[in-house]
Amino acid sequence: MAPRFVTSSDGVRLAVHESGNPEGPTVVAVHGYPDNHAVWDGLAARLATEVRFVAYDVRGAGASDKPRSRAAYRNERLADDLAAVIDAVSPDAPVHLLGHDWGSCQLWRPLSEPRIAARVATFTSISGPSFDHAAVWMRERSHRAASLRQLLASSYMLAFQVPRLPEAVVRRAPIERSVGDRFPRSEADKVNGINLYRANVLGALRRPRPPRVGVPTLVIVPLEDPFVRPEIAMQAPVPYVADLTVAEVPGGHWVVAEEPDVVATPFRAFLARNVNWRRMRDSNPRGR
C-alpha cells in the first residue's frame, strides 16, 4: 500500500505506512539507522489482527524528504516529526510508541515534554537508550568496567563525527539487506542518518539533561546486541522512569527484523497490561 505523507513543522514531508486492524489500538513505530520503515514489516504482520500499526520513514530515510543540513536532524526536529505523525494518525486518542535503535534514542526526551507525553499511552524501547541517561550512568564509579565495554561497543559513533569520511565509506560499501525479512536499505538511508549522530550525540554526552518519563515504559533487551550492552539498556533508565518494565530476549541488534516473534511476545504482554480493551470496544461501535 502506498504511504500517505504528513508535513512536519519545517515543511519536511514524512512517508507514513499503515497496516493491521483499524479498530485496534494505534502503535506508532519509529525505526533506527540505517533502516527505513520496512524494518518493522515482520512485527507488523504478526500483530496485524490486534493493532493498527503505523510506521513512518524518519527524515532522510525511505520515501520521506531528505534535508541536507545537519541542523535539520536535531532532536527537536525529530520531536516535531513525531508530533505531526501522531496528530495525523490518532488525533483523538493516545498512541503506543515503539522505537528501535535511533528510533528509540530520539524518543526519550520528547516523552518528558507535556505536548508529547499527553499523546502517548505507552512506550517500548528496543536497543535505543537515552544518550542523556547513558551519559549519567557511565559516569558512576560502580559502572566503570561496564562503561568501558559500552564505549568500545559505541566507538563507531565517534567515527561518525569525522567530516565526509563516513559518507565516502558507506557509499562504497555494498547495500546490505537484513538477514531476517531482507528489506532493502538505500544509499540515502545510510548517508543521511549519519547526521543524527553529528547533530545530537556529543552534546548529550557532554552536558546530559536526563529526561523523566511518566508513561508506562517497556525496555526490550536483546542479550546478544553488539552495540547496546544489556547493563546500560536495563540500568540507565531506572532513576528516570516512573513505571519501568524490562524484558530480556535472545537475539542481536536487529532482532525486530530477524526474529519478530521474540519481540511480539513481550510487546503483546505489555499492551495487555496497559490497554483498556473493554473501554476501547464500548467507545467504538464497529469494534463490538
- pLDDT tens sequence across 27-72: 999 999 999 999 999 999 999 999 999 999 999 999 999 999 999 9
- Class in CATH terms, 4-287: alpha beta
pLDDT band at 169 (very low <50, low <70, confident <90, very high): confident
Model confidence, pTM = 0.89
pLDDT in tens, 262-288: 999 999 999 999 987 544 444 443 333
Nearest to 126 by CA among 37, 213, 25, 253: 253
Among 11-25, 100-114, 182-196, which is the least confidently predicted range?
A: 182-196
Nearest to 86 by CA among 113, 61, 50, 125: 113
pLDDT for position 115: 93
31 contacts 100 by C-beta, under 8 angstroms:
yes
Nearest to 99 by CA among 201, 29, 196, 35: 29
pLDDT for position 277: 55
- Return mean pLDDT, the chain: 89
